[in-house]
Amino acid sequence: MLKLPIYMDYQATTPVDKRALDAMLPYFTDKFGNAASKSHEFGWYAEKAVEMYRGKIAELIGCKTQEIVITSGATESNNLAVKGIAELFSNVKKKIITAPTEHKSVLDSCSALAKKGFEIYLLKVDKFGLIDLNELRDAIDGNTALVSIMTVNNEIGTIQPVEDIGRICKEKEVLFHTDATQAVGKLPVNVQQMNIDLMSFTAHKMYGPKGVGALYVKSKDPKVKLNPQIDGGGHENGFRSGTLNIPGIVGFGKACEIAANEMSVENEKIKKLGERFYQGLSSQLDDFFINGHPEKRFPGNLNICFKHADSGTLMMSMKEIAVSSGSACSSAAVEPSHVLKAIGLKDDELRSSIRFGIGRFSTEEEIDFAVNKVTESVKKIRSVFKQVLQH
Ligand SMILES: *Cc1c(COP(=O)(O)O)cnc(C)c1O
């Protein structure tokens, strides 16, 4: 039996995998110790769990255990990376290079720095959301402290050429940070191979719990330093103070282990479901197109523009499908998406775009239901629109 509503908002958050939840549960009750308590068994157990599960997080992205700094999520990781590096370099280098399609937590961190006298250089993006590597190469100068470019875009799914960006940054001896929140656990990510110095990601976008994330901080060649944004007991090698969220870390680590084992099979499934969705729509509807890159994209993210169908009206008319017209973080505001604007969508196209997310628990049955529901709703809205035009 099909259970309604259908969840198609996997880019906003994901459910916790039952296996991750089971791993977490003992750490709320029996094994409740503080990992910083060095004088008794409760603390020792907690510390052991942290090290074990931190190891699983590190393994998924190909780094050392001690290079993982635990945070409260990718928003905090992005703030720590961007502000932490900028503040450290503030007396010598004052330029940060990023792109207009980044997550708000990167863009707003940059705006805060701009007010303090930093220079923020926004690279152009093409109609697919890709940056131009030549422009990047030219933009990096002696004043540049950091390049921050996301791996996979959360609204349109476009995958940036991270490995090339990393190589350019290495050549030019400038630090490279990537917000890989929509990539880690879904696509193969290896920080060595991609020449990444700092990388943000979060548990709740990959079937782990909300409120826990990580910043990878390279420890050698170069050893990256940054200014902490939360001061206190000096936890996490001084990068981020505060008592560790042990159940969260356990759930995050378990989610990473599951992702490492199941990613390739899961991706095949998601890709097939994505194609089924798109082809289903194509066979019944016209005048729609996918926002973002046709191939260089995460297949579980389909941001679609249905011409002459207002996205707000469309979502209201298909409440059985949980989707979004932008990023969850900004959907409280009626502002059109800054990402869709940056890739050059016209005003009416901005207001007719919806993001469909496909993930671990999506089924063919759900996709087929969604195809029919979307088709019916779009046709209805368009016919009303036509009647209005005729009067
Ligand atoms: C969700 C998301 C974030 C924010 O992560 P939180 O853990 O919710 O703070 C940052 N960047 C991207 C690309 C995201 O998709």
What is the per-residue pLDDT across 108-163, written as a single tens digit (0 to 9) for each?
Answer: 999 999 999 999 999 999 999 999 999 999 999 999 999 999 999 999 999 999 99
Question: Residue 329: pLDDT above 80?
Answer: no
Question: Residue 332: pLDDT above 90?
Answer: no
Q: Work out which ligand 1 atom sits closest to the CA atom of 152.
A: 13
Question: Among candidates 57, 55, 66, which has minimal Cα distance to 218?
Answer: 66
Residue 311 within a domain: yes
Average pLDDT, the chain: 96
Residue 383 within a domain: yes
Q: Are residue 125 and residue 273 in the same domain, yes or no?
A: no
Q: Are residue 218 and residue 316 in the same domain, yes or no?
A: no
Question: Of 63, 169, 256, 329, which is the active-site residue?
Answer: 329
- The three state secondary structure string of 198-267 is EEEEEHHHCCCCCCCEEEEECCCCCCCCCCCCCCCCCCHHHCCCCCCCHHHHHHHHHHHHHHHHHHHHHH
Provide the CATH number for the domain around residue 317. Answer: 3.90.1150.10
Q: Are residue 253 and residue 267 in the same domain, yes or no?
A: no
Ligand 1: distance of its center to the CA of 181 in Å? Answer: 6
Question: Among candidates 174, 194, 202, 230, which has minimal Cα distance to 72?
Answer: 202
Question: Among candidates 35, 58, 60, 55, which has minimal Cα distance to 45?
Answer: 35
Pairing state between β 95-98 and 6-7: unpaired
Residue 349 within a domain: yes
Give the end of a domain, one of 232, 257, 282: 257
Provide the pLDDT for residue 335: 79
Q: Are residue 233 and residue 334 in the same domain, yes or no?
A: no
Ligand 1: distance of its center to the CA of 385 in Å? Answer: 36
Ligand 1: distance of its center to the CA of 386 in Å? Answer: 39
Give the end of a domain, one of 199, 225, 257: 257
Contact between 259 and 185 under an 8 Å Cβ cutoff? The reply is: yes
CA angle 146–80–89, rounded 5-degree value = 40
Torsion of CA 83, 88, 91, 96, to 10 degrees: -40
Ligand 1: distance of its center to the CA of 176 in Å? Answer: 18
Mean pLDDT for the stretch of residues 285-305 = 98
Q: Which residue has the tokens 């308590």?
A: 37
User: Which two tokens mark 317?
Assistant: 């008319």
User: Which two tokens mark 199?
Assistant: 């990388």
Distance (Å, rounded) from C-alpha 187 to C-alpha 298? 8
Residue 119 within a domain: yes
Distance (Å, rounded) from C-alpha 349 to C-alpha 318? 19
Which residue, by CA, sits nearest to atom 3 of ligand 1?
74
Q: Are residue 165 and residue 281 in the same domain, yes or no?
A: no
**Cβ(157) to ligand 1 under 6 A?**
no
Q: Are residue 110 and residue 245 in the same domain, yes or no?
A: yes
Q: Are residue 249 and residue 373 in the same domain, yes or no?
A: no
Q: Are residue 239 and residue 269 in the same domain, yes or no?
A: no
Q: Work out which ligand 1 atom sits closest to the CA atom of 327.
A: 15
Which residue, by CA, sits nearest to atom 9 of ligand 1?
75
Write out pLDDT tens, residues 224-273: 999 999 999 999 999 999 999 999 999 999 999 999 999 999 999 999 99
Q: Where are the beta strands (DSSP E) in the chain?
A: 6-7, 68-71, 95-98, 119-122, 144-148, 175-179, 198-202, 213-217, 288-291, 301-306, 321-322, 353-357
Q: Are residue 227 and residue 295 in the same domain, yes or no?
A: no
Taking the CB of residue 286, how many other CB atoms lie within 10 A of it? 9
Residue 1 within a domain: no
- Confidence bin at 327 (pLDDT 50/70/90): low
Q: Which domain holds residue 74?
A: 18-257
Q: Are residue 201 and residue 283 in the same domain, yes or no?
A: no
Contact between 358 and 390 under an 8 Å Cβ cutoff? The reply is: no
Q: Are residue 64 and residue 200 in the same domain, yes or no?
A: yes
Cα–Cα distances (Å) from 258 to 7, 131, 163, 205, 216, in that order, read 21, 32, 25, 13, 19
Provide the pLDDT for residue 235: 94
Q: Are residue 226 and residue 284 in the same domain, yes or no?
A: no
Domain count, the chain: 2
Any alpha helices (H) in 285-343, and if so which ranges? Answer: 311-316, 338-342
The distance from CA 34 to its chain's CA centroid, rounded to whole angstroms, is 29
110 catalytic? Reply is no
**Cβ(240) to ligand 1 under 6 A?**
no
Contact between 198 and 85 under an 8 Å Cβ cutoff? The reply is: yes
Residue 133 within a domain: yes
Residue 195 within a domain: yes
Question: Residue 326: pLDDT above 70?
Answer: no
In degrees and rounded to multiples of 5, residue 321 shows phi and psi of -120, 120
Provide the pLDDT for residue 61: 98
Contact between 312 and 166 under an 8 Å Cβ cutoff? The reply is: no
Which residue, by CA, sits nearest to atom 7 of ligand 1?
73
Ligand 1: distance of its center to the CA of 387 in Å? Answer: 41
Q: Work out which ligand 1 atom sits closest to the CA atom of 180.
A: 13
Mean pLDDT for the stretch of residues 309-316 = 95
- Confidence bin at 164 (pLDDT 50/70/90): very high
Provide the CATH number for the domain around residue 204. Answer: 3.40.640.10
Give the end of a domain, one of 207, 225, 257: 257
- Its pTM surpasses 0.95: yes
Write out pLDDT tens, residues 167-222: 999 999 999 999 999 999 999 999 999 999 999 999 999 999 999 999 999 999 99
Residue from 105, 148, 149 whose mutation best tests the ligand 1 pocket (most atoms within 8 A of CB): 105
Ligand 1: distance of its center to the CA of 29 in Å? Answer: 29
**Cβ(290) to ligand 1 under 6 A?**
no
